Amino acid sequence: MDGPQEDPAVDVSRLIRQASGHVAWLLERVQETEAEALVWGMTSEVECQGGEFPGVETTYSAAVNGWVRLYGEERDRLLKMCDLAARMGVEERLVTLAEVQTKIMFEAMNRALDTLELTAAQRARVPEMMAGLLRGMAAEGRPELPAA
């Protein structure tokens, strides 16, 4: 295989977000469709070249609209993926990954500060400065954090 593989929890989480987006998009299509067209519509169209009545023969019947069918299928797919994610412990795994990434970032930041050879007074100001920067970033809405 080429390159590092993505963690399965990240893959499943991404697929769930995509399926959720598909469900939302398909719901919009269903809501845009006229109520009668959701269960009644053209089921076949045949062009008749010869015979006594040439032209197009159209058949209408009761049938589930394609948008409704696709919406239902994608909702079912999303629910199955959510069930799989719960059984896999995806949420817990993502929390663990975030914790590891945070530890790596703090280690890198501490090493950078060590490399700068700050005085004790300068080093003592770092936590207060970082807290202020983080509050400012949060006020700006960066970085966007997922809803809990």
Residues 6+ apart with CB under 8 A from 49: none
The predicted pLDDT at position 45 comes to: 85
The predicted pLDDT at position 148 comes to: 42
The predicted pLDDT at position 15 comes to: 93
Place of tokens 């700006």: 140
Taking only the tens place, the pLDDT of each residue in 52-84 is: 778 888 888 888 889 999 999 999 999 999 999
Question: Does residue 143 surpass a pLDDT of 70?
Answer: no
Place of tokens 């970082």: 130
0.85 surpassed by pTM = no
Mean pLDDT confidence for 120-132 = 88
